[in-house]
Chains A and B, each alone.
Chain A
Amino acid sequence: MWLFDRDLWFEIFHTLGKNMFRTFLTMLGVIFAMMILVLLLGSANGMSNGFDKIFAGTASNSLFVWGQRTSEPYKGFERGRRIRYKIEDASILKEQIPEIEVLAPRIELGSHRDIVTVYRKGQTSGSSVYGDYPEIDNITKKKLVEGRFLNDNDIEHSKKVCVIGEETYKLLFEKGEDAIGEDIRINGVFFSVVGIYKPNNNINIDGENAVFIPFTTFQKAFNSGDRMGWMAIAVEPSTKVAVVENQIKAILKNKYDIAPNDERAIGSFDMSEIFNNISAFTNVLKGFSFFVGIFTLLAGVIAISNILLITVKERTKEIGVRRALGATPIVVKRQIVVEAIVLTAFAGLIGFAISVGILAILNSLWGSGDDFPFVNPMVSIPQFGISFLLMVGLSVLIGLLPANRAIKVRPIEALREE
């Protein structure tokens, strides 16, 4: 196998090495092209990773459902009737729609986003107060900075515990004060703090200043009976959220005597739409970078071919001598094609190394920031593999051009004395 012929490689590296400056100039185009490709792809990946980081902890295949006012009269009810869900709806929906993975009912003190004054030792905070089940943590993950989140035990025994937001903590406690185990007062009822969470900067459903207490405790403390404010629902990954959304609405409309064509009585928000939009955006970005990068690479490889064409002209005499000494056309051709491959591959690797270095620097500068979606910008191994193979493949095709030119010159013409 000629590929493993040590002499061929020796001959090629010798030829390239003895013409360092020419070799370097030839490679420059591909070095830059590879850099552009890797930098573009890496940045697109970094952006995609950045978005992933922002949304980490939020179940992407999820929706929220709440009650609004009817907009159509139906079955003797007037329009404008307020829809209030009951806690039993949660189990009905779960039972009837097997695609629901998690259903976390929630109730709020007051109406939506209402603010309740929370007291502690003369300090006050206007906070939203939610009655929640621990399952909510599976849909919108809370980053706890201290303590724990609500658990099943809290629900079972209707414990008077609460998890508060960092903002709430700042308003109710002195700086550095240990809040765990301390009591706060809501509507005259005392709750013991078990955890403090840090709000997610980017997706914020609950508000920054909020207090979470167990759902069952909420029912008893604030006499909410069997009412339920809204539901956070995670749908199994293989099912479209919109499908489940329609099923839920149909069941609820039937149960609460809502006109089938009433679009406003049930409020809902499909989280997966946001995620789909973002991943469509990053995919387009990745595809575009790949496209641009590959064409830049093509231009770089063509530059190599061009310079090889010139060198072949310059080396006409040398090639003539080689052929007079017994180099067959295929040997000459092979040498020039392999020269093209080696140049391209080597240049590609240099460009790759440089751009990976640049990406690493970019990452250390901006990679950890929460506010800018740019995390771990790097190309994946398949991405690198594909572009590298494509590049080498192109260089074979394009190396054939100067190679054919080289053997077209007959040795007698090449050797003709000027």
Chain B
Amino acid sequence: MIEIKDLHKSYKMGSNSLHVLKGINFSVEEGELVAIMGSSGSGKSTLLNILGMLDGSDSGEYYLDGVPIKDLSEKKAAQYRNKFLGFVFQSFNLINYKSALENVALPLYYQKVGRRERQDKALNYLDRVGLKEWATHLPSELSGGQKQRVAIARAMAAEPKVLLADEPTGALDSKTSYEVMDLIQKINDDGNTILVVTHEKDIAHMCKRIVHLRDGVIVEDTKIEQVRAQEYV
């Protein structure tokens, strides 16, 4: 599903440049649930941004579902993001003047799905995250956990190949974190490929594989026994 070969990325900071990713080799099969761990500055967010086509790499290859991702125009990148990827952010990033349902329907709007179908699909996904009754509520009327579930529903609504979650539990207390992880595990159980960036060990152990990043290289990549979040809820 994801294929990365010798990926390099550096940022220019004035006169000197900062080498953030120093040759990443990494692949993800369909249906995997991967945690990307590392301390801040390890390059995990940069890796996720490149995977999410929000940023480009300096050198190396990146294939997503067999499609080479290289030197994309903004337009192409937007279309690929819409088609291939679902995003979940630490701070939810819901549009604050749109109801939960409208937020979930937004990626479908950019897919040019008809209005009626959009509403139906969005409501279906809201139902799957258990927030059907909250469809008409604004984000400000939802709790943190509910907001993140709406965000997950939004990411799933476009039926992406890969779900990218950047610290999805970073802004949540541990109980809500486990609820969100439970949801992510269930989505993974349905066969969806998911990447989770986190620095929390317990969250990482709820995935099926942990990739450790340190100073721009992968130092450890192990498959683990998944801890079901259900047990903690």
Q: Is the CB of B115 within 8 A of A15?
A: no
B window 58-84: CB within 8 A of A: 74-75, 78-79, 81-83
Q: Is the CB of A321 within 8 A of B93?
A: yes
Interface centre among B78, B81, B83, B94 (most CB of A within 10 A): B78
User: A329-B78, A411-B54 known; A15 and B83 CB under 8 Å?
Assistant: no
Q: B49's contact among A10, A323, A412, by CB below 8 Å, is which?
A: A412
Question: Shortest distance in angstroms between A120's beta carbon and chain B's nearest beta carbon?
Answer: 85
Q: Is the CB of A325 within 8 A of B81?
A: yes
Tell me which of B20-28, B106-114, B125-133, B221-229 binds A. B106-114
Question: Shortest distance in angstroms between B112's beta carbon and chain A's nearest beta carbon?
Answer: 8
Q: Is the CB of A328 within 8 A of B75?
A: yes
Residue B163, interface by CB 8 Å: no
Question: Shortest distance in angstroms between B42's beta carbon and chain A's nearest beta carbon?
Answer: 16
Question: Shortest distance in angstroms between A213's beta carbon and chain B's nearest beta carbon?
Answer: 83
Docked Cα-Cα span, A417 to B166, in Å, equals: 11
User: A15-B97, A328-B75 known; A412 and B107 CB under 8 Å?
Assistant: no
Q: How large is the interface on A (under 10, 10 to 19, 20 to 34, 35 or more residues)?
A: 20 to 34
Q: Which residues of B contact A317 (CB under 8 A)?
A: 93
Residue A330, interface by CB 8 Å: yes
A window 1-16: CB within 8 A of B: 6-7, 10-11, 14-15
User: A325-B87, A326-B107, A326-B110 known; A415 and B78 CB under 8 Å?
Assistant: no
User: A15-B97, A407-B74, A417-B91 known; A324 and B52 CB under 8 Å?
Assistant: yes
Q: Which residues of A contact B55 (CB under 8 A)?
A: 412
Residue A220, interface by CB 8 Å: no
Q: A326's contact among B81, B90, B97, by CB below 8 Å, is which?
A: B81
Interface centre among A318, A326, A329 (most CB of B within 10 A): A326
Docked Cα-Cα span, A165 to B95, in Å, equals: 79
Residue B98, interface by CB 8 Å: yes
Residue B37, interface by CB 8 Å: no
Q: Is the CB of B87 within 8 A of A18?
A: no
Q: B90's contact among A14, A15, A417, by CB below 8 Å, is which?
A: A417
Q: Is the CB of A10 within 8 A of B91?
A: no
Q: Is the CB of A326 within 8 A of B49?
A: no
User: A325-B154, A412-B55 known; A7 and B79 CB under 8 Å?
Assistant: no
Interface centre among A320, A325, A331 (most CB of B within 10 A): A325
Q: Which residues of B contact A15 (CB under 8 A)?
A: 97
Q: Is the CB of B98 within 8 A of A326?
A: no
Q: Is the CB of A18 within 8 A of B79?
A: no
User: A19-B97, A412-B49, A412-B55 known; A328 and B115 CB under 8 Å?
Assistant: no
Q: Which residues of B contact A327 (CB under 8 A)?
A: 78, 110
Q: Is the CB of B54 within 8 A of A415?
A: yes
Q: Which residues of A contact B93 (CB under 8 A)?
A: 317, 320-321, 324, 415
Docked Cα-Cα span, A325 to B54, in Å, equals: 11
B window 153-202: CB within 8 A of A: 154, 158
* Contact indicator per residue, chain B 129-159, by CB within 8 Å of chain A (1) or not (0): 0000000000000000000000000100010
Q: Is the CB of B78 within 8 A of A326?
A: yes
Q: Is the CB of A7 within 8 A of B109?
A: yes
Residues of B in contact, count (CB < 8 Å): 30
Question: Shortest distance in angstroms between B53's beta carbon and chain A's nearest beta carbon?
Answer: 9
Docked Cα-Cα span, A318 to B139, in Å, equals: 13
User: A10-B115, A329-B74 known; A324 and B91 CB under 8 Å?
Assistant: no
Residue A141, interface by CB 8 Å: no
Docked Cα-Cα span, A318 to B98, in Å, equals: 11
Q: Is the CB of A331 within 8 A of B90?
A: no
Q: A325's contact among B49, B106, B115, by CB below 8 Å, is which?
A: B106
Docked Cα-Cα span, A412 to B107, in Å, equals: 17
Q: Which residues of A contact B154 (CB under 8 A)?
A: 325
Interface centre among A11, A407, A417 (most CB of B within 10 A): A417
Residue A79, interface by CB 8 Å: no
Q: Which residues of B contact A159 (CB under 8 A)?
A: none
Docked Cα-Cα span, A192 to B115, in Å, equals: 85
Question: Shortest distance in angstroms between B75's beta carbon and chain A's nearest beta carbon?
Answer: 5
Q: Is the CB of B75 within 8 A of A324?
A: no
Question: Shortest distance in angstroms between B40's beta carbon and chain A's nearest beta carbon?
Answer: 11
8 nearest A-B pairs in the assembled complex, by CB-CB distance: A326-B82, A18-B97, A326-B110, A412-B54, A328-B78, A325-B107, A328-B75, A321-B93
26 A–B pairs (Cβ distance < 8 Å), ordered by A = A10-B115, A14-B98, A18-B98, A317-B93, A320-B93, A321-B93, A321-B94, A322-B110, A323-B78, A323-B81, A326-B78, A326-B79, A326-B83, A326-B107, A326-B110, A328-B78, A328-B79, A328-B110, A329-B78, A330-B75, A331-B78, A410-B54, A412-B49, A415-B89, A417-B90, A417-B91
A11-B109, A14-B98 known; 19 new pairs, CB 8 Å cut-off, are A6-B115, A7-B109, A318-B95, A322-B95, A322-B106, A324-B52, A325-B110, A325-B154, A326-B78, A326-B82, A328-B75, A328-B78, A412-B49, A412-B55, A415-B54, A415-B93, A417-B89, A417-B90, A417-B91
